[in-house]
Structure 1
Amino acid sequence: MITVEEAEKLIAETITDFGAEIVPFELSVGRVLAETIITDRDLPPFNRSSMDGIAISYNVIEKGVKTFKIKAVQAAGDQPVDIDDGEECVEIMTGAALATTVNTVVRYEDVEIQNGYATITTSPIKKGQNIHRQGADKKKGDIILLPGRVVDAAVINSIASVGEAEIRVKRHPRVVIISSGDELVDVAAKPSPYQIRKSNSYTMQAILSSQGITAAMLHIPDDADSTKKNIQQCLHSYDVILLCGGISMGKFDYIPQALKELEVTQVFHKVQQRPGKPFWFGKHDNGVVVFAFPGNPVATFMCMHRYFMPWLQLSNGQTVKPPVYAVLNEDFIFKPQLQYFLQVKLNFNQQGQLLAMPIEGNGSGDFANLADTDAFMELPSEKSEFKMGEVYRIWPFNQLW
């Protein structure tokens, strides 16, 4: 049995680059950028008004002129309107390009318009005010996005602004989720008094879906031959196999033996942790990576976030975010010499500290408790008493915290 840190290190040694592909930019949300995005022109591409108001030449302000004849009204997207002399102005809308003959914008709130004239009613007026200068944000050829960035709404905005209709993103691995056990029935089925509905596989599928990955799903019965046959087929069809259940010491846990017979190299089996102690991990010579998680829902859920998601992010070349830590908000005791992943509810106090309140469930089978928590707090195995105010790393799984 190995430590959590050893398991993390061994998994990281199997990081795989699945290549890249070109996709329409509007379909790239959630994907990992695999190219450098540069500007095709200055941003903004012209001197633009940042307010609705009037555009004037500032030099007449210095001469005491406050009333201007309105020459035209210019909307965003219109060709810039030049003034013929300093005592003219142009009514201009936010985003409109400024002509070279004007250099200052006065807000509508600061002028009074009557009979075709605009009079400035406030002071002082500053030369160049309310203008977003050409190239103030980025110059043509500047880098605005680097590979490894997850595409979100803000990134989409930048990509669209520089005219990248198609972009290169990291290719998703082909993933299959395999559940096992005769005690499991379909979600829509009516279970017997001694059966339960499948849930783990759908939970894993949902986690993958949040990363833009559509995973295949397969259920195998408690049968040695069927177990080996189905896993063998998956080893030829997928890049990643996620197994759920059937990896402990039970007489019907056929998966470890099947993996051995199929020459999937066992990297480790069992980790000094709770939940998820029976976690099995290995790799086939053809490059397929196998994560085999315990069947208990909380154990599967924790292992997905603690081990699989970091592996996926590293394989995608994703920029790794720094660890998140929180302050334990209540004393807690856990005596077994195992790394304990405590379910916690997160909140901020008035000092801006991230607080973690323990919400202890009824073991690794208590999946209902997950809906009331936000993260796992990783408590070190060398301690048994954890005091309020101590700081430990957390693994958030609720994005709303």
Structure 2
Amino acid sequence: MISFEEAYEKVMENTFSFGVEKTLLTHSRGRVLAEDVLADRDSPPFNRSTKDGITINYKAIEDGQKAFKIEGVIAAGTAKTQLKDSANCLEIMTGAVLPDNADTVVMYEDIEINDGVATLKKEVVKGQNIHRQGSDVKQGEVIIKKNTKITAAEIGILASVGKVEVSVKELPKITLISTGNELVAVHEKPLPHQIRGSNTLSLHALLETENIHAEHLHLDDEKESIKNNLRELFGENDVLMLSGGVSRGKFDYIPEVLDELGVEKVFHKVKQRPGKPFWFGLHKASKTIIFSFPGNPVSTFANYHVYFKDWLYKAMEIPAESKSAILMNEVENDSPLTLFVRVKLKTEAEKLHAFLISENGSGDLSSLAHTDGFIRLSPDKKKYEKGTVVPCILSRYN
């Protein structure tokens, strides 16, 4: 049995790229950019007015002028024009191109218009209310860096530079596998000795948040059937994610079957709770990674967030973000195990505060409805005082 730190390091050592593909801009939200995105022209692409009002040549003000005859109106989307007489003005709308021979914009609130003449009511600063060409971004500059996760904000930027298709990281192909004769489908009424299968559905929902659409397979506790089915999945998947069948029970065949199929065991069992029987390995011939989580619901849920999510982000080259929280309850860990303790989280003064929640072990699925994350407690530390800052893994809280 190895420590949590050793297990985490070994998982992170076994990451690889899934490749690159093109996708439509309209389908790219949540994906990870595989290229730097460059500005195809200056932004803004011209000197633009930031207000509705008039545009003038400031020299007229320096010469003592306060009233300006209106030559015409410039709407947004109109091609560049010219102020013909420096003693005059043009009405201009927000977003319109600043005309030649004009260098200042005065908003309507600061002028009075009568009989086609605009008179200034306030002091004017030369160059005011103009968004200068290239002041945001110059043509050829990187505007979104490679490995950025695409959100609604990036969608707008990508559209502005004409990216109809976007180069993104391919997502891993994953099959979720549940094991156990005691499991029945969600729509079935379980007998007294049975339970409805929930772990793979939780994992499916978690993967959906990463835009990964996983396949499902259920295997009964029959060794040859497990072996034959797993053999077929190698090569078709980047990841097999199993739930159950890795403990010491007489029908926990997964470790034995994986060994017989030539899967290299990286480790089995970690000094942690929940999730101690966690099995991790690699089928080198097909380059398939196997995450085999314990069957208890909280163990599966916690191990996904502790190991798989960080593994995925490293493989996708998404920058990792570590979190910490302030303990709002005193807690002890005098065991030799690293503990992942369920907490409710609250932000106060821009800091996360962690409140312990009531739970009944790793089989207590209902407690996850109240869980925002897990705090990590190191082994053999008898007491954590209230106010202690501890590592925190978010499962729901944003």
Q: TM-score range by the shorter chain?
A: over 0.9
| Matching residue of 1:326 | 325
Q: Is the 8 A contact 1:344 1:357 kept in 2?
A: yes
| Matching residue of 2:225 | 226
Alignment of 1:331-370 (within 5 A): 331-349=330-348, 351-370=349-368
| Matching residue of 1:161 | 160
In the alignment, the residues of structure 1 paired with residue 118 and residue 381 of structure 2 have an alpha-carbon distance, to the nearest angstrom, of 75
Shift of 1:181: 1.1
Alignment of 1:143-158 (within 5 A): 143-158=142-157
Shift of 1:81: 3.1
Paired residues, what number? 397
| Matching residue of 1:209 | 208
Alignment of 1:147-296 (within 5 A): 147-286=146-285, 287-296=287-296
Shift of 1:168: 1.1
- Matched position secondary structure for 1:32: coil
| 1:309 and 2:306 correspond | no
What whole-Å deviation, never above 9, does each CA across 1:300-333 have from its counterpart, x for those lacking one? 1111111011111111122223x11111111112
TM-score, with structure 2 as normaliser: 0.96
Alignment of 1:390-401 (within 5 A): 390-399=388-397, 401=398
| Matching residue of 2:87 | 87
In the alignment, the residues of structure 1 paired with residue 359 and residue 121 of structure 2 have an alpha-carbon distance, to the nearest angstrom, of 67
| Matching residue of 1:2 | 2
TM-score, with structure 1 as normaliser: 0.96
Runs in 1 of length 4+ with deviation above 6 angstroms? none
- Matched position secondary structure for 1:95: coil
Q: Is the 8 A contact 1:342 1:360 kept in 2?
A: no
| 1:47 and 2:57 correspond | no
Aligned identity (percent) is 46
What whole-Å deviation, never above 9, does each CA across 1:92-149 have from its counterpart, x for those lacking one? 22111111211111122222233322222222x1111111100001111111122111
- Matched position secondary structure for 1:219: strand
Q: CA RMSD in A?
A: 1.4
What whole-Å deviation, never above 9, does each CA across 1:50-80 have from its counterpart, x for those lacking one? 1222111111122232222222222211113
| 1:34 and 2:34 correspond | yes
| Matching residue of 2:137 | 138
What whole-Å deviation, never above 9, does each CA across 1:143-178 have from its counterpart, x for those lacking one? 112211111112112211111221211111110000
Q: Is the 8 A contact 2:48 2:94 kept in 1?
A: yes
| Matching residue of 2:74 | 74
In the alignment, the residues of structure 1 paired with residue 235 and residue 165 of structure 2 have an alpha-carbon distance, to the nearest angstrom, of 31
Q: Is the 8 A contact 2:333 2:379 kept in 1?
A: no
Q: Is the 8 A contact 1:68 1:88 kept in 2?
A: yes
Q: Is the 8 A contact 2:83 2:100 kept in 1?
A: no
Tell me, which stretches of 5 or more residues in structure 1 are unaligned?
A: none
In the alignment, the residues of structure 1 paired with residue 112 and residue 342 of structure 2 have an alpha-carbon distance, to the nearest angstrom, of 62
Q: Is the 8 A contact 2:178 2:217 kept in 1?
A: yes
- Matched position secondary structure for 2:2: coil
In the alignment, the residues of structure 2 paired with residue 55 and residue 367 of structure 1 have an alpha-carbon distance, to the nearest angstrom, of 66
- Matched position secondary structure for 1:384: strand
Shift of 1:334: 3.1
- Matched position secondary structure for 2:270: coil
In the alignment, the residues of structure 2 paired with residue 344 and residue 37 of structure 1 have an alpha-carbon distance, to the nearest angstrom, of 39
Q: Is the 8 A contact 2:344 2:357 kept in 1?
A: yes
| 1:20 and 2:27 correspond | no
Shift of 1:29: 1.1
| Matching residue of 1:114 | 114
